[in-house]
Amino acid sequence: MTDAPHSPCSAKAGPIEIAFVHRADRYAHQIQVDGSAWLESIEGSEVERWPASPPLQELASHSQPAGGAALLLVGMAGRSHWSLSVAVAGEPDRLRFDAACRANEPPVWLGSTYRLRCGITATSESGRWLLVKANSESRLALEATGAEVVFAAGELTIRPTDHSTKLPATARWQ
């Protein structure tokens, strides 16, 4: 297998864009603002049962009635199934991410992990995270539903706050 990327697929809402590229056995993605990468997903390997981000192996793009693309991704690691949808969220500069994992065994880790690109800092403000680019007026706000957001050592993690211990179970974070 090669790590050479294939053609990317993306969704755009105003200055915000999410771009997916296929690497090895899954899709990685970057969140860009004004054409500059701010966050990039940290992916696991094909042997990890609980990777740092959902192992997304299939991607479909659909047009929304109100315009713009909705991206739907699914994948599997171990005995668990993962999904992610990304769509324009009713406002011209807002993307909505909806991730889930159907776990068939006790999860060791669930969530999405991102590396902040050079020059991007994160601060917590009134229950949401604000990302700022050095020497720029650009800002990116992250609001989580059903999830906690943690920033440490140049990485941002988004973890579901509610998941059942009775298996199989589905955990969801937005």
Digit-coded pLDDT (tens) for 33-66: 999 999 999 999 999 999 999 999 999 998 877 7
Q: Can you tell me the distance from the alpha carbon of 174 to that of 171, in angstroms, rounded to the nearest whole number?
A: 11
* pLDDT tens digits along 81-119: 999 999 887 777 888 999 999 999 999 999 999 999 989
Q: What is the mean pLDDT of the chain?
A: 88
Residue the block writes with tokens 């680019």: 133
Owner of token pair 């696991």: 44
Query: What span, in angstroms and rounded, lies between the C-alpha atoms of 113 and 52?
Result: 6
H/E segment holding residue 28? strand 26-33
pTM exceeds cut of 0.85 = yes
% of the chain at pLDDT higher than 90? 57
Report the distance separating Cα 131 and Cα 116, nearest Å.
Answer: 9
For the cut 90, the answer to whether the pLDDT of residue 160 exceeds it is yes
Is residue 73 predicted with pLDDT exceeding 50? yes
| Percent helix, strand and coil across the chain, each to the nearest 5 | 0, 55, 45
For the beta carbon of residue 79, count every other beta carbon within 10 angstroms: 12
Q: For residue 53, how many other CB atoms are within 10 A of its CB?
A: 23
